């Protein structure tokens, strides 16, 4: 036999991962984002050990204390305190838990529901496809935050309801991506080959086709993770998300609104926390897209 296999090609899942990491590494912003995200996860997991104070403990003798580098600041409250004397740093540290929790829950719910609907629409086509896609079009035709606001107004303001609302607002994107990928995969010959060897529709959808559609979905998941955090913060700011005294970053912003001139640090730090987290996750998303999308892959 003249044709031989190249032995340099990846053989195991580990080596596939290694190849992925090699592509991912070329994007320095993405690597930086990943490190930041890992630190953030670490902080969130070990919040009670790291935070110098409790998240809701009020120090009545230290209201609106400025951060340590400003006049009147103290090492006791490194980033200062808010209007009722709660330590800002501790609240931010505990707040990272909520932000990550929101991101994970919203993305998982939107991803699972979106993939199922997209698979059904892309596999069966016909009227079921039309019905699903028109509903998604209707959801997409509303400004997303406004729709989330209306949903929360109907469900009642709380963090869980805000997450449900954001997940509903986000899942049309997953449905569209999945459907498009499934339709293009369904016309490939390996799908027909699978049918001939007796693969039933359900197995065809989830085992044969879905793994080949995952790359754009992973990228979308990473990017909408940050959107979810941002939307939740916006809902919190409008008083429709997490309710005080929950140390959610958006809610903290809302509480600090009236002190924006007198004690700017109370508004600044939650804002900076949201900004850096969203930025880091977006950078990771960009890096994932570069590494997973074969069209953009530099070899």
Partner 1 sequence: MAEDIILEARDLVREYRSKEGMFGKVNVTRALKGISFKLERGKTLAVVGESGCGKSTLARILTLIDPATDGDLLIEGKKIDIAKQKITPDLRSKVQIVFQNPYGSLNPRQRIGDVLTEPLMLNTDLPAQERRDKAMEMLVKVGLGPEHFNRYPHMFSGGQRQRVAIARALMLNPKLLILDEPVSALDLSVQAQILNLLADLQEEFNLTYLFISHDLSVVRYIADKVMVMYFGEVVEYGTRDEVFDNPQHEYTKTLFNATPRADIAHIKERLARTG
Residue span binding partner 1 (CB under 8 A) among the ranges 85-93, 95-103, 117-125, 188-196: 188-196
Please say which residue, 143 or 294, places its beta carbon nearer to partner 1.
294
User: Restricting to residues 234-293, which ones interact with partner 1 according to CB under 8 A?
Assistant: none
- Using H for helix, E for strand and C for coil, what is the string for 17-48? HHHHHHHHHCCHHHHHHHHHHHHHHHHHHCHH
Residue 74's SS3 state is: strand
Q: According to the binding rule CB under 8 A, does residue 5 interact with partner 1?
A: yes
Phi and psi of 55, rounded to 5°? Answer: -75, -25
Is 10:18 a contact under the CB 8 Å cutoff? yes
Shortest Cβ distance from residue 196 to partner 1 (Å)?
5
Interface residue with partner 1, options 150, 192, 275, 296 (CB under 8 A): 192
d(CA 235, CA 211): 34
Please say which residue, 181 or 234, places its beta carbon nearer to partner 1.
181
Q: According to the binding rule CB under 8 A, does residue 190 interact with partner 1?
A: yes
d(CA 136, CA 130): 10
Please say which residue, 61 or 189, places its beta carbon nearer to partner 1.
189
Q: According to the binding rule CB under 8 A, does residue 11 interact with partner 1?
A: yes
Q: According to the binding rule CB under 8 A, does residue 194 interact with partner 1?
A: yes
Burial of 21 per CB tally in 10 Å (0-12, 13-18, 19+):
exposed
Residue span binding partner 1 (CB under 8 A) among the ranges 9-17, 53-61, 149-157, 243-251: 9-17
Paired strand residues for 75: none
Q: According to the binding rule CB under 8 A, does residue 198 interact with partner 1?
A: yes
Please say which residue, 153 or 193, places its beta carbon nearer to partner 1.
193
Residue 53 Cα distances to 14, 48, 225, 264, 293, angstroms: 42, 9, 29, 21, 45
Please tell me whether the peptide bond between 197 and the residue prior to it is cis, using omega within 30 degrees of 0: no
Q: According to the binding rule CB under 8 A, does residue 15 interact with partner 1?
A: no
DSSP 101-152: HHHHHHHHHHHHHHHHHHHHHHHH-HHHHHHHHHHHHHHHHS-HHHHHHHHH
User: Restricting to residues 200-219, which ones interact with partner 1 according to CB under 8 A?
Assistant: 200, 203, 208, 211-212
Shortest Cβ distance from residue 130 to partner 1 (Å)?
11
Shortest Cβ distance from residue 292 to partner 1 (Å)?
13
117's tokens: 């609907």
**N-to-C CA span, the chain:** 29
Q: According to the binding rule CB under 8 A, does residue 3 interact with partner 1?
A: yes
Shortest Cβ distance from residue 219 to partner 1 (Å)?
17
Q: According to the binding rule CB under 8 A, does residue 195 interact with partner 1?
A: yes
DSSP 204: I
Interface residue with partner 1, options 127, 189, 262, 295 (CB under 8 A): 189
Q: According to the binding rule CB under 8 A, does residue 126 interact with partner 1?
A: no
54's tokens: 């409790």
Shortest Cβ distance from residue 296 to partner 1 (Å)?
18
* Total residues at interface with partner 1 (CB under 8 A): 26
Interface residue with partner 1, options 70, 160, 193, 275 (CB under 8 A): 193
- The footprint of partner 1 (CB under 8 A) covers 1-6, 9-12, 188-190, 192-200, 203, 208, 211-212
């Amino acid at each position: 036999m003249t044709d031989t296999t190249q032995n340099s090609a990846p053989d195991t899942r580990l080596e596939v991962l290694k190849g992925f990491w090699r592509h991912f590494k070329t994007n320095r912003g993405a690597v930086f984002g990943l490190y930041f995200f890992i630190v953030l996860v670490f902080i969130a997991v070990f919040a009670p050990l790291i935070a110098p104070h409790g998240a809701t403990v009020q120090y009545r003798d230290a209201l609106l204390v400025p951060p340590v580098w400003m006049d009147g600041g103290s090492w006791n409250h490194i980033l200062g305190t808010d209007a009722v004397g709660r330590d800002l740093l501790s609240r931010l540290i505990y707040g990272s838990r909520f932000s990550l929790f929101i991101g994970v829950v919203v993305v998982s719910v939107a991803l699972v529901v979106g993939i199922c609907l997209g698979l059904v629409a892309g596999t069966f086509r016909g009227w079921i496809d039309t019905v699903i896609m028109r509903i998604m079009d209707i959801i997409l035709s509303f400004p997303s935050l406004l729709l989330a606001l209306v949903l929360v107004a109907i469900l009642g303001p709380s963090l869980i309801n805000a997450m449900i609302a954001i997940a509903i607002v986000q899942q049309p994107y997953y449905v569209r991506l999945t459907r498009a990928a499934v339709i293009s995969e369904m016309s490939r010959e390996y799908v027909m080959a699978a049918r001939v060897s007796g693969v039933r529709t359900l197995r065809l959808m989830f085992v044969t086709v879905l793994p080949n559609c995952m790359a754009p979905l992973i990228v979308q998941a990473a990017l909408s993770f940050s959107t979810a955090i941002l939307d939740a913060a916006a809902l919190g700011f409008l008083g429709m998300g997490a309710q005080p005294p929950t140390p959610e970053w958006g809610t903290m912003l809302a509480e600090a609104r009236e002190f924006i001139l007198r004690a700017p640090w109370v508004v600044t730090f939650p804002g900076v926390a949201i900004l850096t987290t969203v930025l880091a996750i977006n950078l990771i998303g960009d890096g994932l897209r570069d590494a997973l999308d074969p069209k953009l892959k530099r070899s």
